[in-house]
Amino acid sequence: MKSIKQVLMIFVTVLSLVFILSACNTENTNSSNEDTTAEENNEETTNDSEESEGEESSDPIVVGFSQIGAESGWRTAETESIKETLENDPQFELKFSDAQQKQENQIKALRNFIAQEVDIIALAPVVESGWETVLTDAKDAGIPVILLDRGIEVEDETLYTSFIGSDFILEGENAAKELINLIGEDVETNIVELQGTVGASAANDRMEGFANVIEENDNYNIIKSQTGEFTRSKGKEVMEAFLKSDGENIDAVYAHNDDMALGAIQAIEEYGLKPGEDIKIVSVDGIRDIFEAVVAGKANIIVECNPLLGPQLAQAAKDLMDGKEIERWIKTEETVFVGAEEAEAALPDRKY
Ligand code: AHR
């Protein structure tokens, strides 16, 4: 028979075992509770990050773009490039406004963009002056303004963040240099000039660049210079007037864009002369139609000006929204084509 002492020992041992087991169980329960909490926390973090990612992608960068109009093939190509780039990228929402060549319409569009609190304003300014008031409003509203293709004249340079586009002065200089190369520096040459829109930086600077070079050669003279408003019909009309007054005296046409050059070509043919031969043609832009004219021998020199600014605008807008600094002048890459052979080789790859 077991003694009372033995029975007590067994009881204490069993009790200890029960205690140890229940302690283990509690530990397990606690640790599994911790895991659950951790999992839940993780899930929350993931959800949070998914949510904020979701929020980012459902919150596009809103760009308000005020375009000048559709006066030329170049301008249409620029509009298409910007629409195609921004409308096909879910990171953007584009608000587009066509000013139909009127600065007042552009100012109205900018005021609307400011009222709608867009993130960025892209402005292709029809003329250089008259932007202070509306751009000050944009600045006060904290909306950065990116100028596209044409520049403006403002005292306060902080009224816009960046300019994406070409060096128009250089384009004018290149047009003159190539014309002199083609005709020869010793040959007496009378030039008529078809200017772009009065007051536009594209017209002012292309005129200045061309004159810089021409003035250095006494054999070369600009005998007439008038606006053809960057359009084919006006270019033709002005060229008809030049031919009427100066007829056989004209040796070359310098057109600030291809559309006016193409109008001039028509006028010269109707007048009974051969464009590209009797009258040399140099123009700026590089649209397909002028390449075809050069291949056909009806024009001679193309100074390229790139309108495909959509990708550069998208990049600049993203950088700005990421708080990065962007270049003050984002330049476009351009070249010059002289003669039928060069034009023919380049034609298949032309994108506008
Ligand atoms: O500002 C660029 C000029 O504007 C292009 O050369 C011309 O074709 C356009 O309309």
Cα separation of 352 and 343, whole Å?
14
Q: Is the dihedral of CA 240, 245, 247, 251 positive or negative?
A: negative
Run of H or E including 82 = helix 73-87
Cα separation of 52 and 59, whole Å?
10
What's the confidence (pLDDT) of residue 9?
57
Question: Residue 219, Cβ neighbours under 10 Å: how many?
Answer: 14
Beta strands in 54-213 (DSSP E): 61-67, 92-98, 120-123, 145-148, 162-165, 189-195
Cα separation of 253 and 256, whole Å?
10
Contacts of 47 (CB under 8 A, 6+ apart): none
| CB-defined site of ligand 1, < 6 Å | 71-72, 74-75, 149-150, 202, 230, 257, 284-285, 305
What is the value of pTM for the model shown?
0.84
Q: How far is the CA of 271 from the centre of ligand 1 (A)?
A: 27
Strand partners, 220: 189
Minimum-distance ligand 1 atom for the alpha carbon of 71: 10
Residue having the nearest C-alpha atom to atom 3 of ligand 1: 202
139: left (phi over 0), alpha (psi -120 to 50) or beta: alpha
> What tens-digit pLDDT sequence spans the chain (352 residues)?
455 556 555 555 555 544 444 443 444 333 333 333 333 333 333 333 334 444 445 799 999 999 999 999 999 999 999 999 999 999 999 999 999 999 999 999 999 999 999 999 999 999 999 999 999 999 999 999 999 999 999 999 999 999 999 999 999 999 999 999 999 999 999 999 999 999 999 999 999 999 999 999 999 999 999 999 999 999 999 999 999 999 999 999 999 999 999 999 999 999 999 999 999 999 999 999 999 999 999 999 999 999 999 999 999 999 999 999 999 999 998 999 999 999 999 999 999 9
DSSP conformation class of 281: E
Q: How far is the CA of 120 from the centre of ligand 1 (A)?
A: 23
DSSP conformation class of 157: G
DSSP conformation class of 248: G
Run of H or E including 282 = strand 280-285
